[in-house]
Every structure is written in C-alpha cells, then in structure tokens.
Amino acid sequence: MTGSTGPGLRDLTATRGLLYGGDYNPEQWTAEVWAEDVDLMVAAGVNLVTVGVFAWSRIEPRPGERDFAWLDRVLDLLAGAGIAVDLATPTASPPPWLAHDHPDTLPVTADGVRLSQGSRNHFCPSSPTYRAHALAIASDVVARYADHPAVVMWHVGNEFGQVCHCDACAAGFRAWLRARYGDVAGLNAAWATTFWSQAYSRWEEIVPPRAAPYLINPTQRLDYRRFCSDTLLELYTAQRDVIRAAAPAVPVTTNFMGFFPHVDYWSWAGALDVISDDSYPDPVDPDAPVLAALTHDLMRSLAGGPWLLMEQAVGAVNWREHNPPKTPGRMRADALRAIAHGSDGVLSFQWRASRAGAERFHSAMLPHAGVRTRLHRSVRELGTDLAALAPVAGSEIRARVAIAFDWSSWWAAEEPGGPSARLRVLPQVLSWYRPLWRRGLAVDLVHPEADLTGYDLVLAPQLHLVTDAAVANLRAFTAAGGTLALGPFSAVADANTAIRTGEFPAPFTDLLGAGGQEWCPLPDGGAHLDLDGHRYPVHTWAERLEASSAVVLGRFAGADLDGAPAAVRSPDGRLLYLAAVGGDDLLEAWVATCLEQAGVTPSGQVAQPPPGVEVAVRGDHTFLLNHTRTPVAVPLTRACRDVLTGTDHPHTAPVPADGSVVLIERQP
C-alpha cells in the first residue's frame, strides 16, 4: 500500500538538495510586492514554493472565465529567480458563485444543515456539479502550465478531509456498498441488521449515519468512514490523472494531515508520487515532539522512503484556542526533526503573512513586522543550515521495530457504545512509541496486512480490528521468528467490527496460552501492576485474563483484579500481551521487555540520550535536539563532526540550550 510508481522526490532533491520554502499566495498582493518577495526568497535560501492553492476565484472570477495573466507573470518571475513551484489545482475552495448557482455543491452536516460559502472547503465530495467544475478548472490550469519550467511538482487540492451527509453522498454510499457487498442480503449480514430491527429490503432505504435517536449501527458508521475516504480519493485521482496525462514527468502530491481521522492514508499512499504532510506541533505541549516524530515516521512509512514536510509554522498558529509562538530554537528543532525522520525539505505556511482574512494571525516566514525581526532572521538561518545539509536528501532510515496502525481499526476502536470512551487509540500508540523515541530508535508504522519481513519487533498498542488477512499476516510474522506485542483491546473485532467471540484476543489465544474474559474499565483511582519487581499505577483500563501455558510477566494488584495476570508472554516467547493502560514508567518497562525479547538494541553514535535531548538517526547523520534550557554534552560512541559548524567531537557533542546539532561520523 506504500510506495509510488510515478516520478518522485529524489529527482527534485538530486539537484536542489533539501527543499525550502512555503505556500505563496501572490493573489493577495500587488505586482510590486511579488518582486520584493522573490528577492527576499532568494535571500532566505528558498528554492520551492507552493502556488495557487486558493486561487480558483482569481482564475475563474465568473463561471467559465479564465484569468491566467497574473499567474503567468508570477511563475515567470519565480522561474527567473530559480525558485521552483509546486503548483496547485485550485479546487479546495470553490468561488462563491459556484455555491450560489449550485447549492447542491455545498456540504450537509449530520443534522441536515447545508453549510454556506464565506469560509473555505465548502463542497460536497460527491456532488457531480462540484466534480465537473473542479475537473474543468484543474484541467485548464494543468493544460496551461504543464510545460512551465518553474513547475516541478503538482499539488492536487488541499488537505482532503470533507465529510458530507447529503443525498448525493447517500447515493454514492449505496453504490459503494453495492460494490462491496453485492446484494442487500450481503449488506444485511455484514451490518448484522437483525440487531434492533435494522434489516434493509432495498438499497434506497440506506442513508448515511445522520442524526438518529440513539447509537447508530457501528458497521454502517465504519463503512461510511471508509466510503468518505474512498470518495475523496476519487476526487484526488481524477485530477492526478489529468496531470499525469499532460505532465508525466512531474510528480503529483497532495498534503496529508498526519493522523487525520477522516482519511485512510494507507489506501491513498500508492496514488501519490510524493507523500507530503502538514505538521503543526503545539509549541507548548511537552508531548508534541514525540507526536511529531511519530507522525513523521508514519509519513516516511507511507512513502516507503523520503517524504516532504509540506506545511508547518515558523511561529504561532491561529487556530488553537490559545496560540503561543515558537521560539527560534523550537522552530529549528521542529524543522530538523522532520529532516531527521525522512523529510527532504521544510515548507511552511506561508511565505508572507496575510494582511487580512481568517489566517492573518498565522505566523509566516516574512512576518507583518518585516525583515528586521527575530523571526525572519531565524528563517534565513534555517535556510543556510538546510543548504549545508543537502547531503542528507534522499538518504534512508532502516527500522527493526514497527508499530501496526490501521485507520479502520482506529475508527472501530473509538465507536460510541464501547466499554470506555476514555480509551483512545492515538494516546495508546503514543505511549508505546515514547520509549522508542526516547532511545532514538528508528520505528516504522505498518499496515497490519503489510509485509513484515525485516522487522524484529512489531508493536500493536491497540489494534482493535483485525481482518482475517491481518491475523494470518501477524501469525506468520511470529512463526517466522518475529516478536509481536499486543496491547489492550486488540484483535477484538473483525473486518465488519463484529466481535471475534471466545476469549480474547481470540485469533491469538492459542499461541499466547492465555485468554481474556472481561474488559474492565477502571474506576477513578485505578489499580496497580507488578512487573519485574516494580509496582506501576494503571488507569482507565484493565482486562481479566486467565493464563494456561503463558508465562505471566506481570499481575494486577488492587481492586477486583488482585493477582490476576496483567502482562503475559507466549510459551515460545514470540507473542506478548499487555492487558492494561499505564503511565510512562510502566510503558518504559514494558517496551524494554519487548525490545529485549526481540533482541533489539540501540546502535548509532549515541547510546543513551541524556534527559531532554531528542536523538534521531538518518543515514549517516545523527540529529540531537536539546529541549532543555541548559547546554548539554551528549556522550558519543564514536568520534563525530558537527556538520554545520565543522567542529570535531571525539567523545561528547555539546548541544546549546534550546539548540540542535547535526553530527556525522568523523572520517578517520
């Protein structure tokens, strides 16, 4: 499901090194400003900008008209300065006239409210009218600029993620279901519609999961999420195909949004030539670096190699409730982390801060206060650093550990009406990932049906839904000597989110030598878990297991679970199971156990990162990001050179407070 068949990122970076730049919205500015922008971009080391994302109404101010003159001039200007362009099909935000003339293009909420123009993204993905207009404008943009020398990448739409509940979507949903299930009887079986008298007699009775009196059929909801993701993919693919026909040598992308809940990126990855992502770690959340690293690893895994940080912020965003800015040190660390985890560039939203509109308070590479600002100085310094890091471009990361993650499983696990709404998938994944991140270990994310060859350890922190194919794949992995560790509430549901009955995790209890009888969400106060002579608090969730042949690694202490198995290992040592949710200390111990069981040990130039220092290795480069407010000396296993300063460090590498350095092994 990963990898791409078309032209890719390597072609771009081979000559340019790491890509640097951001969104550029010239339609907001006069031609005088364009000229200044290009000069300032060159001064800042910018070599790639994304143009045209929100330009539909500028290009087609009235139905059927086309105004390309301004864009011709902008692209020529950029080309003249040697700045490459990632050109967008401007389909993310239709002009107001489309909404007015064709209200059927507007999206509808689950409550039946048809949303209005005045914002952005106001389209129904199923609307034939929207589709026709979007394809027409995209085709004309492609036709005009397919051969423009500035255009080195195409950017389809923006942040695909719309969800709509209108009648066109209902019709599309039925067609999707018909393709999946064949006939109504098949659908009734898959959806278990004998429950609550939900059996359908004809396709037309089926509607999206709109507002209803109580819990909606969970398979209906799950399939609607799948349908929405697939429908958006159709929108993307239609535009991509237009581009491929006109410009087969230019790679096509669209910007992902990390662990975005409405689109299954595994199913999309193969349709993109370049995997690109928008990443906005919260500068005041101490967990944000961990989540950012995890998300970058997801992107690299989707790409099967280098990817591209398409959007980030150099300072504050404007869409959280409270938006502290980044320090220059944090800005640089965020950029270098992305490189360290496989990005071949750093693009920001946006080049020049908007004077007006809903994002006027979003930071930009060129802020309102102008060039002589701390922020812009940092932007230029980063441009210099990235140029110096050109050799990193295209290099690979090899992971022995993988985390199994799947959108269908995420959706199924968090359906309303489960044992606990407090058990959430991403926090679980993050808690299992953090000990790996702290060690600077490379981690891939994998679809549970993907080829697992080459991994020593696969973690499945909360893989709730497993298809039969996934079960077979994971079992084959352990049979081949791999180590698999399952977290709580895993392997509970099948592809239709029906429960796999019997003791849980039902498809694995024979291997495990243990089985669970009850999910036990914990009352406030939680309980404890004794593991390896230590007692750890557990909270939110536990499970009642009984072990037969399994080795009991840990037991619960307290509450109704006193003495019951909490962490077990199969007799052959290849399968581990943790039946609880715990804090950082417990997960540190648990993941250490898993690594030891799998024989995975850290390698590289830093054996043991000091507290507060993040380490990541890409190819022969080691990145050290100091999140503390004091300078740190990081012990090295081998003599290294600081790539940016040229200084050699035989034993320890100094990292300034709030600073980041990049090392390479010193050539003897």
175: helix, coil or strand? helix
CB of 136 to a copy of itself, least distance (A): 15
Of 39, 167, 183, 204, the residue at the interface with a copy of itself (CB under 8 A) is 204
Residue from 167, 205, 510, 584 that binds a copy of itself (CB under 8 A)?
Answer: 205
Nearer to a copy of itself, 2 or 117 (CB): 117
Q: Which is nearer to a copy of itself, 227 or 266 (CB)?
A: 227
CB of 424 to a copy of itself, least distance (A): 12
| Residue number with CB closer to a copy of itself (347 or 561) | 561
Q: How far is the CB of 145 from a copy of itself (least distance, A)?
A: 18
Told to judge if 311 belongs to the known catalytic residues of this protein, a careful annotator would answer yes
Cβ-in-10-Å burial (0-12, 13-18, 19+) of 464 comes to buried
Handedness of CA 415, 420, 421, 426 (dihedral sign): negative
Tokens standing for residue 376: 């812009």
* Nearer CB in complex with a copy of itself: 129/373: 373
Question: 265, 185, 183, 181: which is closest to 223 by C-alpha?
Answer: 181
Q: Is 359 a catalytic residue?
A: no
Question: What DSSP element (H or E) covers 73?
Answer: helix 69-80
Residue type for 110, please?
A: A
Q: Which of 27, 60, 234, 311 is catalytic?
A: 311
Give Rg (Cα) of the chain.
26
Window 272 to 331, contacts with a copy of itself (CB under 8 A):
284, 315-316, 318-319, 321-325, 327
Among 2, 93, 409, 428, binds a copy of itself (CB under 8 A): 93
Which residues make beta-bridge pairs with 527? 538
User: Is 478 among the residues that bind a copy of itself (CB under 8 A)?
Assistant: no
Nearer to a copy of itself, 201 or 453 (CB): 201
Site for a copy of itself in 374-403 (CB under 8 A): 374-375
Q: Does 417 bind a copy of itself (CB under 8 A)?
A: yes
Stretch in the footprint of a copy of itself (CB under 8 A) among 20-28, 244-252, 400-408, 639-647: 20-28
Residues in 124-153 that interact with a copy of itself by CB under 8 A: none
- Specify the residue, 354 or 637, whose C-beta has the smaller distance to a copy of itself: 354
Decide the pairing of beta strands 632-635 and 652-655: antiparallel
Q: Is residue 55 near a copy of itself by the rule CB under 8 A?
A: yes
Q: Which two tokens stand for residue 253?
A: 């992308």
Note whether 447 and 266 are within 8 A (CB).
yes
Contacts of residue 632, defined as CB under 8 A and 6 or more positions apart, other chains included, come to 610, 612, 613, 626, 654, 655
In the complex, least distance from residue 24 CB atom to a copy of itself, rounded to whole angstroms: 13
Chain positions 553 to 592 lying near a copy of itself, rule: CB under 8 A, are 560
Cα distance between residue 207 and residue 205, in whole Å: 7
First vs last C-alpha separation in the chain:
41
Does 64 engage in binding with a copy of itself (CB under 8 A)? no
Contacts of 356 (CB under 8 A, 6+ apart): none
What are the residue ranges of helices labelled H in 151-205? Answer: 167-181, 184-191
**Binding positions for a copy of itself, 593-652, rule CB under 8 A:** none
Query: Is the CB of 19 or the CB of 44 nearer to a copy of itself?
Result: 44
Ranges within 324-353 binding a copy of itself (CB under 8 A): 324-325, 327, 353
Tokens standing for residue 430: 């993050």
Residue 49 exposure: Cα atoms within 13 Å on the Cβ side: 28
Among 36, 60, 65, 159, the one annotated catalytic = 159
List 5, 119, 453, 667, residue binding a copy of itself (CB under 8 A): 119
Between residues 504 and 590, which has the closer beta carbon with respect to a copy of itself? 504
Instruction: Tell which one of 1, 6, 11, 28 touches a copy of itself (CB under 8 A).
Output: 28
CA distances from 453 to 401, 433, 460, 476, 661 (A): 11, 20, 16, 10, 33
**Contact between residue 593 and residue 576 where contact means Cβ atoms under 8 Å apart:** yes
Amino acid letter, residue 46: V
- Residue 156 interacting with a copy of itself (CB under 8 A): no
Point out the residues that are catalytic.
159, 311
